[in-house]
Amino acid sequence: MNSWSDSDSRFMQLALAEAAQAVNLGEVPVGAVVVRNSVPIGKGHNRTVRDSDPTAHAEINALRAAALREQNYRLEGATVFVTLEPCAMCLGAMLHARIARLVFGAYDAKAGAAGSVLDLANHRAMNHRIEVNGGLMQQECSEILRRFFESKR
């Protein structure tokens, strides 16, 4: 069981706010925030449909924003907070950026690459490892997804 800090919860709230922006765009509600030294340096939400871009996941958008702000593709020491367990593409980008820690809300039994389906964050063949903490505000993160997909039926 993880012991979550107040700042962990605060940053996940920011990620949930990003997920809410995705809902307003008709996108799958996933939000992400990149934090370093207790300061958010990049935020993003899903924009795959709006941008006609299969790579425009929340995590990728947040990493891009953080890298632009920092003027560096390496984001060493940073933590990514995301409402849904990342897929293989997003976890791969985090590995390349040298993210130190990943905190996610809802588990993804279909495509999760941080332990549910694959565990790329700690794969022995990779040259970088990411500390993974899953399940922060899991109910809230799952609920926004459940409501979104229910509205589509």
Q: Which residues are catalytic?
A: 59
E strand segments, 12-100 = 31-36, 39-45, 79-84
Q: How far apart are CA 84 and CA 30, in angstroms?
A: 6
Query: Encoding tokens for residue 25?
Result: 């765009």
Q: 110, 113, 150: which is closest to 134 by C-alpha?
A: 113
Cite the beta strand spans of the chain per DSSP E: 31-36, 39-45, 79-84, 101-106, 131-134
